[in-house]
A = this chain, B = another copy of it.
Amino acid sequence: MSLITVERKILEKNDEIANINREKFRFKGMFTLNLVSSPGSGKTCLIEQTIKLLKEKMNIAVIEGDVQTNIDAQRIDALGVPVVQIVTNGACHLDAMLVRDAFQKLNDIDINILFIENVGNLVCPAAYDLGEEMKVVIISTTEGDDKPLKYPAIFRNSEVLVINKIDLLPHVNCDVDTIIKNAHSINSGLKVFEVSCTSMEGINEWCEFLLYEVKSQ
């Protein structure tokens, strides 16, 4: 049996469970997002700032995915929001089975938005449906404006692009219009938010979008 055959079977099995997850999440009336980025692009920061702005208006929960440590879950827990940490022990992405098992700990809670923070990796998570309603790809301005062209799969498979760390634009060699042009050349339907989790620029627009999506569920 070749690796390609084994991988295809794994992806088929993953997609089956992802569809069951999605049905369950929809039945609970939850809006579920799968956040994907390189390490250090600011996924956890974005979730933290979103929680601070939205937690009085709705019930938020988080599933954290990391290769090692529960540092991110501790950060979310400190904000008083239900969180489950998945430690993949070396694996480079979350899969639908891991999310199904982690969600058991959140099953009895009333949730409007579930954030699933994937392992920091711009390549492998692109292939794995977790049962989310929407994939969100995040890149930071410090990573340069060519990333959509160099890592096209995750930009093709996402509905939303969040460009983070726009407060650092005066200090880095990055043009936001070029990021957007490159991203739209891969996926013309990508909705784009330009934010800074430090200066809070753009975070309100992002939160309004989430509120709208939650109300549309």
Q: A residues bordering B, Cβ < 8 Å?
A: 1-3, 6-7, 10, 38-40, 66-69, 71, 90, 92, 119-124, 139-140, 142-144, 146-147, 149-153, 165, 167-168, 171-173, 198
**A92-B124, A123-B121, A124-B124 known; A71 and B149 CB under 8 Å?**
yes
Q: Which partner residue on chain B sits nearest A153 by CB separation?
A: B90
Q: Do B90 and A92 touch (CB < 8 A)?
A: no
Q: Which residues of B contact A66 (CB under 8 A)?
A: 150
Q: Which residues of B contact A124 (CB under 8 A)?
A: 92, 121, 123-124
Q: Do A143 and B10 touch (CB < 8 A)?
A: no
Q: Which residues of B contact A139 (CB under 8 A)?
A: 40
Q: Do B68 and A150 touch (CB < 8 A)?
A: yes
Q: Which residues of B contact A38 (CB under 8 A)?
A: 38-40, 120, 122, 143
Q: Do B171 and A71 touch (CB < 8 A)?
A: no
User: What distance in Å separates the Cβ of A152 from its nearest Cβ neighbour in chain B?
Assistant: 5
CA distance A120 to B90 in the complex (A): 17
Q: Which residues of B contact A140 (CB under 8 A)?
A: 40, 142
Q: Do B152 and A68 touch (CB < 8 A)?
A: yes
Residue of B3, B90, B123, B168 near A67 (CB, 8 A) is B123
6 closest A-B pairs by CB: A40-B143, A92-B123, A142-B142, A38-B38, A1-B1, A38-B39
